Amino acid sequence: MNIGQTHIDFEALLIEGPAGRFSIEPKVMDVFALLAENPNNVVSRETLIDKVWGVEHGGDERLSRAISILRKALGDIRGQHSHIETIPRKGYRFIAERDHESNGQDAPPATRTEGAETVKNILPATRSATPVVPLPKPSAAYKKRKRFGLGALAAIILIGIAMFGIRAGYFDKAPQKASQISRLEAGLEHVKHYMQDNAIVQAQTLFSGVLADNPDHAAAQAGLALALLREYAYLETDPAILHRAKATAELSLSLAPQLALANIAVGWAAGYEGEFDKALKAYDRADILDPDNLFTLVGRVTTFQKQNMHQQARETLERAISLYPDYAFFHSLLGHQLMKEGAFVQGEASFRQAIALENNVPRFYSQLAESLHRQSRTPEAIKVIQDGLKIREDGALYNNLGAYLSDQGHYELAVQAIENAIQKGNSYGYLFWANLGSLYSYIPSRQEEANAAFDRAIQLLQAKMDLVNGKDPILQHRAAFYLAKRGKFDLAREAMARVHFDGPMPAFELYRAGCIYEIMGERDQALTQLEAAVKAGFPLHYIAEEPELRKLRQDPNYHRLYARLSANP
C-alpha cells in the first residue's frame, strides 16, 4: 500500500518513505491494518486491543506504544497527525489518502491474530478508461523532416557518447550533488529553528532523502542524528528515539572522524545520556575543525546547564549571543539560565527578546509565562499562555496552564489542561504525568487515578535515570518526590539519600525537599528545608500557595517562620 511517497509492505513488515525505513513489529502492523481497513471510521481502543492482543493479553500501554511507532514511521509529529487521528476517549481513525495506483497486492491483510474477526480488505478504486482521440495522419514532407531530424539527433548522441564516455556520468551526478547540498543546508536550517511548526519532521525528511541516495553520507547521518535528538528533547522523550540518534551519530563519526558536524552530533547524544565529559570532548574536537559553530555552542550551554555549572553556561551564552545576536533560541537559553539562578525579571527580558525575534514559537510564550508566574503575576502568565495557544496547541503551554489553574484552586480545569498537555505534547513526559497525579490527588474522588498517574511518572522517570546511569541529582530528587506522593516513604528516603549535588543545593531543590519531608510527616525537617530555600532565593509566596503544604501552614511554627522570613527578605 502506498500513501504519497511512503510504501507500506504488510507482508515484509516494512514502512519506508521520507521519514526513513522502519521494520515494524507484527502486532504493531496488525494495528495499522485494522485502521487502514476502516478508513475515516473511528476504531475504538477496546476493539484494537481485543483483535490484536486479545482482552486477556492487551493493554492501553501496548496500544499507545503501537500508535506512537506507526506515527513516527509515517512521518507524523505530535499535534499534527495526518495519518492516524486520535479521537479523545474513543479511539483512532485512519485519515490519510491512499494511493490507488497499486494493483491491489499491497492492500492491508486481515490481522493475523488468532480468533480475530476477519475484516474486509481495501481494494484499489476502479479507474475509468480514457477515451482515445485519433490523431491526424502526418504529411509526406513531415515524415521526411522527421527522418532527417531523428538521424541527426542519433548522430549527435553517438558522437557525444564517443567523445565523453564516462564523463557523461559526471554530468548526471552534478545536479544530484547540488541537490544534496541544498537539502543538507535546508535540513540544518530546520534543526536550527526546530521549534517552528513541523520543522523537525521536515529536517528528518530532507536528511533521509539524501541518505536514500547515499547511505554513507556522513553529514546527512549527523544531521539526521541532530534532528532525532531534537525530536527526543522537544516532542517525545521516547528512549528508542535517543538510542537511534546515538547510533546514527556514531555511524556519522565512523564515516568521517574529521567532520565537525559528526563530532557535534556525538556530543549532543552523549549529553542527553549524561556522559558530560564525552560531550565536552566532542565539542572540543568540533571547535578545532569549525570554531564557534552554532550547534557546538548550543551543545556546550545545555551540557553546562545540566551540570548546574552556572558560570560556564552564562559565559558561553554571552559569547553565543555576541556571535549570533538574532538567534532567538540563545536568548531563550539565557532566560532559562537566569531563571535557574533566581533572576526572574532578567529572565523575563530574555524571553521577551526571543519572542521579538521569533513570535510564532509557543515554547517561548510558555517560558515567558513561567517567569511572570515566578514574580506573582499569574493572571499575566495565563494571558501569555492564551497568546501562545493561538499560535499552536503546545503541550508545554497546557502544562503551565494546568499548574497556574491549580495554584488558584481550579483543580478540574487544571486536570483538563494537563490531560491536553499529554494529548498534544509529550506522552513520555514524566513531568506531565506527575503533574496530573498531583491534580488528581487534590480531588477526593480521583485518588485511584492519582496513584496510576504517579506510577506512570515513576516508570518514565526511572527510564530517564537509567539513560544517565542515575547521575543526575535533580532526577533522583524528583523520584523521591513522586515516591513520597505515592505513599512509598521508605523508597522516597532511599532516593533522597542518593541525591548529591557538587555544590550547594539549588533553591528549588531545597523547596522540593521541604515538600517531601512534609508529605512524609517530618514537619521539623520540612520547615528547616523551606527556610533554607527562601534564604537561597526561592519566592516566599510559593510556600504560602503550595497545595502540598496546606497542613503545614496551620502549624504555629510555620507562621513564626513566615513572619521572620518576610521581615528579613
pLDDT reported for residue 555: 93
Measured CA to CA, the distance from residue 472 to residue 154 in angstroms comes to: 71
463-466 own/partner pairs: CB under 8 Å, 24+ apart: 463/239, 464/237, 464/430
Q: What is the mean pLDDT of residues 194-210?
A: 88
**Mean pLDDT over residues 434-463, rounded?**
90
Q: Return the exposure string of 271-303: e unless at least 16 CB atoms fall within 10 Å of the residue's CB, then b.
A: bbbbbbebbbebbebbbebbeebbbbbbbbbbb
Mean pLDDT of 215-219: 93
Q: pLDDT by residue (tens digit) across 73-98?
A: 888 766 567 888 888 778 899 988 87
Mean pLDDT is highest, among 56-60, 346-350, 535-539, for 346-350
Q: Pick the residue with more confidence: 425 or 33?
A: 33
CA pair distance 96, 109, nearest whole angstrom: 18
Q: In what order do the strands lie in the sheet with 6-9?
A: 2-3, 6-9, 14-17, 20-23
Cell of 46: 477496546
For residue range 318-340, list pLDDT tens digits in order. 999 999 999 999 999 999 999 98
pLDDT of residue 331: 97
Contacts 24+ apart (CB under 8 A), 83-87: 83/3, 84/35, 86/423, 87/42
**Residue 160 CB neighbours (<10 A):** 12
Average pLDDT, the chain: 82
Query: What average pLDDT does this structure show over 447-454?
Result: 92
Per-residue model confidence as pLDDT tens digits over 51-79 = 887 754 445 667 877 888 888 888 876 65
Q: Is the dihedral of CA 11, 12, 13, 19 positive or negative?
A: negative
* CATH top class, domain 2-94: mainly alpha
pLDDT-derived band of residue 355, with 50, 70 and 90 as boundaries? Answer: very high
498 pLDDT higher than 60: yes
Answer for the pair 242, 437: CB distance below 8 angstroms, yes or no: no
User: What confidence tier does 108 reach under pLDDT thresholds 50, 70, 90?
Assistant: low
Tell me what pLDDT residue 548 has: 85
Give the pLDDT band of residue 313 (cuts 50, 70, 90): very high
Structure confidence at residue 79 (pLDDT): 59
Cell 490519510, located at residue = 96
Residue 198, sorted as left (phi over 0), alpha (psi -120 to 50) or beta, turns out to be left
Q: Which grid cell is 228?
A: 532525532
Q: Which residue, 465, 379, 461, 450, is CA-closest to 418?
A: 450
Give the chain's end-to-end CA distance (angstroms, integer): 67
Estimate the crossing angle of helix 395-407 against helix 378-391, to 10 degrees: 160
pLDDT in tens, 383-426: 999 999 999 888 889 989 998 998 888 989 999 998 888 877 66
Report the 10 Å Cβ neighbour count for 50.
Answer: 17
Paired strand residues for 17 = 20
Structural element, H or E, at residue 434: helix 430-441
Tell me the average pLDDT across 177-197: 89
Output DSSP code: residue 99.
B
The residue whose grid cell reads 481513525 is: 93
pLDDT at 467 over 80: no
2-94 and 183-324 have identical folds = no
Three-state secondary structure string covering 500-558: CCCCCCCHHHHHHHHHHHHHCCCHHHHHHHHHHHHHCCCCHHHHHHCHHHCCHHHCHHH
Q: What angle do CA 311, 305, 280 make, to 5 degrees?
A: 90
Looking at residue 261, what is its pLDDT? 97
Position 5 pLDDT exceeds 90? no
Judge whether residue 172 has pLDDT over 80. no
Q: Which of 221, 229, 233, 230 is nearest to 245 (CA)?
A: 229
Q: Which CATH architecture is the domain 183-324 placed in?
A: Alpha Horseshoe (1.25)
CA dist., res. 73 & res. 71, Å (int): 5
For range 36-65, the mean pLDDT = 78
User: What was the pLDDT predicted at 225?
Assistant: 96
pLDDT at 73: 84
pLDDT band at 140 (very low <50, low <70, confident <90, very high): very low
Contacts of residue 331, defined as CB under 8 A and 6 or more positions apart, other chains included, come to: 321, 350, 351, 353, 354, 357
Annotated domain spans of the chain: 2-94, 183-324, 476-567
Sign of CA dihedral 478, 383, 387, 331: negative
Residue with cell 527556610: 531
Q: How far apart are CA 154 and CA 160, in angstroms?
A: 10
State the maximum Cα–Cα separation within the chain, in Å, rounded to a whole number. 112
Cβ count within 10 A of residue 175: 9
Closest to 34 measured CA to CA, from 2, 6, 66: 66
Phi, psi torsion values for 487, nearest 5 degrees: 90, 10
Q: What is the pLDDT of residue 224?
A: 94
Q: Give me the pLDDT at residue 174, please.
A: 56
Residue with cell 556519522: 252
| Structural contact between residues 271 and 290, judged by C-beta atoms closer than 8 angstroms | no
- Reduce the secondary structure of 47-94 to three states and give it as a string: HHHHHHCCCCCCCHHHHHHHHHHHHHHHCCECCECCCEEEECCCEEEE
What one-character DSSP code corresponds to residue 444? G
| Cβ atoms 304, 312 nearer than 8 A | yes
Instruction: Answer whether residue 145 shows pLDDT above 50.
Output: no
Q: Residue 102 — very low, low, confident or very high, per pLDDT cuts 50/70/90?
A: very low
